[in-house]
Structure 1
Amino acid sequence: MNMDFNSAEKLLELCEQNQLPISEVMRQRECILGEMPRDAADHRMNKAWEIMRTSATQPLKKPIKSMGGLIGGEAKKLEAHYGRKKSICGDVLGKAMTYAMAVLEVNASMGLIVAAPTAGSAGVVPGMMLALQECYRISDQRIMDALYNAGAVGYLAMRNATVAGAVGGCQAEIGVASAMAASAAVELMGGTPQQCLDAASTVLMNMLGLVCDPVGGLVEYPCQNRNAAGVANALVAAEMALSGIHQLIPFDQMLDTMYTVGRHLPAELRETALGGCAATPAACAACGHCG
């Protein structure tokens, strides 16, 4: 059976024809194209999940200073704030923000992470998944299913647009990561394939035009903050889709729009550290890289 797809439209057709969720279509695609049994594919996904979970929790036990010195300890502060019952974000978002920021601390200190879809946006998907797992007591098997769903969205973005900040700005990194997380969350909470992709499209719409402006050229700041913001955006989009709010613009069209906008961003706003936050006096003083 051919489970390959090159667009969200085709993906939805496969889901409808076979009465399968996005996760199962993606799993079968991986098995067929990768010429591997189901158990082998699941083993690889489980390993990715274990790495994600470790990177999201390690800095909470022992805060890590980044190589560039711009971040370190932020996740622990959020956890302490949440523990004091001071959080105004609620359980899921409060936890998701904490875990997302923790992953960026691991990444910026040369630790092991899963690029989802990139290193600079690696906190969004695990942050969302771990928070939902803890708040709703979800099994690792169901989380793995959700990660296949996220993988389908990431694959479409890489195939038909970009996930590189140097090409499309931060909307292509945090934006796509958030789209992956939103889609996965919708399936995890009982949504349909159409609702999953509605959520993914809404995320890209809400983050359209987000620039990539790393201070000092380091994947630390404002990258870490944007992982937390990306989780919030994903939660908003997922909640809207699950409520039955339909997205006017299909995911394929929104992805194409994101790619077009990204290519029109000036070079200063595409990972060169020559504009945006990176060019502010405070940023230049912090990293010492500006004249």
Structure 2
Amino acid sequence: MKNRPGIFNDVIGPIMRGPSSSHTAASWRAAKICMDILNEPLTKAIIDFDKDGAWAPNYRDQGTTIGIEGGLLGIEMSDDQIKNTEQIADEKGISIQYEVNSYQTNHANTFRLALEGTQGKQTKVTAVSIGGGSFEIQDIDGFKVSINGGYYELLLKGVSKNIHLQDLLLLFTESKSISESFNNEKRLVNIKFSKEISIETINKLKDTIPFDELTIIKPVLPIISGNESELPFTTVASLLEYAEQKNLDLAALGLLYEKNQSGLDDQEVIDKMKSIVAIIENSIKTGLEGTYYEDRILPRQSHLIDDAQKKKKILEHSIVNKIIANVSAIMESKSAMEVVVANPTAGSCGVVGGVLRAVADDINASHDELIQAYFATGIIGVYFAQGPGFSAEEHGCQVECGASAGMAAAGIVQLFGGSAKQAIDAASMAIQNMIGLICDPIADRVEAPCLGKNVSAAVNALSSATMACAGYNALIPLNEVIETVSSVSLQMPSCNKCTGKGGLAITKTACAIKEKLKQKSTLTTS
């Protein structure tokens, strides 16, 4: 079966800290897997980026170092210690260094890790971050691989060429795939499983197949891959046709999709969504209560909306006020290194949670109805993931705030009690309004103009949902809108794709802010 994105693995998540899911969450996941590959305590790591890649100018400012160090040190994202990874590495006597070099890549977000263990073992790994926390390990010690953290993986180095892959398939019938790679005369065999690799499996292997080295990699994604089943729909058009035949709303289709994707039953999928939504709701609460973090541009601001409303300086009792406050609160939690959910990315995490909470409060929706709305947002994100994906370094902010606006619009229609067709149309209209949106974070912090774009995307989602439910014509089908996002990104210069080299990021004021932060950091570390 062709790999397809999951709502929990690729759209609503990961649960994380830090400014950028591409930089922080993806690098954490890749680094964590690298420690399985090394398979002994770490003593030294050298991480490097290509000088022409998107990460070379901003890897430290956007939290890549925190993610990599947290993964290498085995610190979970939910653990407060991840805010102090550099200090912890020093205390453990582990050397972690960063370099910018020149090497051939096939993705703007490529990074290499050269690791050395306490027993002298060394390994070199090449990985790429592909947006929203998703990643792929592409090379291990010169062997080409494709590891994305969804499977239990078995790596066998030095397997004889006389052993055919078909023989291994017969030996390990429970495996999901077997592939091979060659580096000069050496051979690497990669076997993927959807269940933990048992001692019996390892012993059977040792008794049957000669090899030089065995490595076991554990999954880092929340849903284990390989348990997928066929769906009654694939395209947006077939989804709508199925919805009409079965009289289903978009939330029901989202739940059905993730049930078939994960292999879990309905209640397990619903419980998983409830736990994620609880984290999103808590990030709103945390932000509204007040956050502080030294290394950020914007101070706490989310409380200003309520203050201004009480003083009658702005519209009273407006849902827009609640949207702005909620979105700001989530973004402030993110910028303060509190736990948030990338939805679908960290840079756009304020949109869906902020506006759905505001609308749910305004119409007195139940918690179960709110959970259903999140399933509607998830299925829109799935189709976006199948298209351009969520990497701003490849496509600009149109795949972050643009995607989240479409997702949120569908969720609002679900809260309104609208049909699957109306939710799809709302998503189409919302994304149409965001096509071509560039990514130009000031001083390489994902705060401004990101906050304003999140707020605009959330209000856009509400207006698009309102129009769709009122009967407005979306005109352009959702699949064509998503295809247009990809085509527009090809026309967008790379300086406007989260590199800090274009847009507002290179204004006089932005450059002054960046220099001030740099000087402040130098004084702190000296």
TM-score (norm 1): 0.94
The structure that has the greater radius of gyration is 2
- Deviation (angstroms), 1:108: 1.2
* 1:140 aligned onto 2:334: no
- 2:287–2:328 contact (8 Å) kept in structure 1: no
- Report the CA distance shift for 1:66/1:184 in structure 2 as closer, same or farther (over 3 A): same
**Partner of 1:55 in structure 2?**
283
Contact 1:168–1:259 (CA under 8 A) maintained in structure 2 = yes
Residues 1:287 and 2:517 aligned together: no
Percent of pairs identical after alignment? 29
- Is the Cα contact below 8 Å between 2:296 and 2:335 reproduced in 1? no
Is 1:112 paired with 2:321?
no
Q: In the alignment, is the contact (CA less than 8 A) between 1:4 and 1:29 conserved in 2?
A: no
Q: Which residue of 2 aligns with 1:219?
A: 446
1:93-172 alignment runs, 5 A limit:
93-172=320-399
Question: Which residue of structure 2 lines up, in the alignment, with residue 73 of structure 1?
Answer: 300
Counterparts of residues 1-291 of structure 1 (less than 5 Å): 2-3=230-231, 5-61=233-289, 63-66=290-293, 68-88=295-315, 91-288=318-515
Deviation at 1:85, TM superposition (A): 3.6
Inter-partner Cα distance in structure 2 for 1:277 and 1:4: 45
8 Å contact kept, 1:172–1:262: no
Change (3 A) 1:268 1:78: same
Distance in 2, Cα, partners of 1:247 & 1:24:
22
Asked whether the 8 Å contact 2:418–2:469 carries over to 1, the reply is yes
How far apart are 1:168 and its partner, in Å?
1.1
Q: Is the 8 A contact 1:60 1:75 kept in 2?
A: yes
Residue 17 of structure 1, CA deviation: 2.0
Q: Single out whichever of 197-206 and 67-76 deviates more from structure 2.
A: 67-76
Please tell me the residue identity of whatever aligns with 1:27: L
1-structure distance, mates of 2:435, 2:273: 30
Listed one character per residue, the Cα deviations across residues 129-170 of structure 1 (whole Å, up to 9, x for unaligned) are: 110121111111000000000000011101122222111111
* C-alpha deviation, 1:32, in angstroms: 2.2
Cα shift at 1:89: 8.0
CA 108–67 in structure 1, closer or farther in 2 if over 3 Å, else same: farther
Contact 1:91-1:135 within 8 A present in 2 as well: no
Contact conserved, 2:360 with 2:415, CA < 8 A, in 1?
Answer: no
Matches of 1:28 and 1:224 in 2, distance apart?
Answer: 33
Query: Per-residue displacement from partner, 1:214-260 (whole Å, max 9, x unpaired)?
Result: 11222111111211111111111111111100111000000110111
Distance in 2 separating the partners of 1:4 and 1:270:
37
- Answer yes or no: is the 8 Å Cα contact 1:66–1:109 preserved in 2: yes
Residues 427 and 464, structure 2, Cα contact 8 Å, conserved in 1 = yes
Question: Is the contact between residue 165 and residue 173 of structure 1 (CA under 8 Å) also seen in structure 2?
Answer: yes
**Structure 2: gaps of 5 or more residues:** 1-228, 519-526
Residue 365 of structure 2 aligns with an amino acid whose one-letter code is: I
Tell whether the 8 Å contact from 2:249 to 2:418 is kept in structure 1 after alignment: no
5+ unaligned residues in a row in structure 1: which ranges? none
Structure 1 distance, partners of 2:314, 2:416, is 23
Counterpart of 1:275 in structure 2: which amino acid? G
Deviation at 1:268, TM superposition (A): 0.5
CA distance in 1, matches of 2:482, 2:270: 28
Shift of 1:66: 4.4
Q: Give the number of equivalent residue pairs.
A: 290
Distance 1:244 1:90, change over 3 A: farther
**SS of the residue aligned with 2:324?**
helix
Q: Is the Cα–Cα contact under 8 Å of residues 284 and 329 in structure 2 kept in the other structure?
A: yes
Return the offset for 1:37.
1.4
**CA deviation map 1:167-226 (0-9, x unaligned):** 111111001101100111012102111111111111111111110001122211111121
CA contact (8 A) 1:214 1:222 kept: yes
Q: Call closer, same or farther: CA 1:50–1:267 in 2, change over 3 Å.
A: same
- Greater relative CO, 1 or 2 (CA 8 Å, sep 6+): 1
Residue 4 of structure 1 deviates from its aligned partner by 5.4
1:67-123 per-residue CA deviation (whole Å, 9 max, x = no partner) reads 532123121112322333433385222101110111111111211111110001000
Secondary structure of residue in 2 paired with 1:180: helix
Larger helix fraction of residues: 1
C-alpha contact 2:422 2:468 (8 A) present in aligned 1:
yes
- The offset of 1:2, in angstroms, is 4.7
